[in-house]
Amino acid sequence: MKPRRPPIAVVPPAALADLIAGGRPGGFRIQSLFAWVVFACLSTVLNLSVLPSPLGAYEIAILKSANIAAYNQAVVGFKSSMPPDTVFVEYDLKGDPNMGRMYAGKIRASGADLVLAVGSKAATAARLEILDIPVIYSMVLHPTKYDLKAPNLVGVTTKPMIGQQLGTLRTIMPNLKRIGYLYDPNKTPPLPAETTAQARQFGITFVERQVRSTEEVPPALRELLPDIDALWLVSDSTVLTEESFSFLLRAAFDRRIPVIGFDPEFSRRGALISFWIDPADIGREAASIAHTILTGGTASAAKSFAPRQRLALNLGTAEYLGIAIPPTVQSMADEVY
Q: What percent of the chain has pLDDT over 70?
A: 82
pTM above 0.85, yes or no: no
> 189 with 210: CB under 8 angstroms?
no
Q: What is the pLDDT of residues 92-114, one digit of tens each?
A: 999 998 998 899 889 999 989 99
Condensed to tens digits (0 to 9), the pLDDT of residues 81-94 reads 999 999 999 999 99
**Superfamily of segment(s) 59-158+279-305:** Response regulator (3.40.50.2300)
**HSE-CB for 293 with a 13 A CA cutoff:** 26
CA distance 250 to 271: 10
Q: What is the pLDDT of residues 51-69, one digit of tens each?
A: 333 345 899 999 999 999 8
Residue 130: phi, psi to the nearest 5? -115, 105
Amino acid at position 166, single letter: L
Q: What is the pLDDT of residues 293-311, one digit of tens each?
A: 999 988 777 666 767 889 9
Ramachandran region, residue 111 (left: φ > 0; alpha: ψ -120 to 50; beta: rest): left
**pLDDT tens-place string over residues 196-240:** 999 999 999 999 999 999 999 999 999 999 999 999 999 899 999
Domain 162-277+310-336 has CATH 3.40.640.10: no
CATH 3.40.50.2300 residue ranges for the chain? 59-158+279-305, 162-277+310-336
The answer to whether residues 262 and 233 touch, using CB atoms and an 8 Å cutoff, is yes
User: Which residues have CB under 8 Å from 280's CB, separation 6+?
Assistant: 73, 74, 76, 77, 80
Q: Residue by residue, what is the 3-state secondary structure of 175-238?
A: CCCEEEEEECCCCCCCCCHHHHHHHHHCCCEEEEEECCCHHHHHHHHHHHHHHCCEEECCCCCC
Q: Could you tell me which of 194, 188, 265 has the C-alpha nearest to residue 234?
A: 188
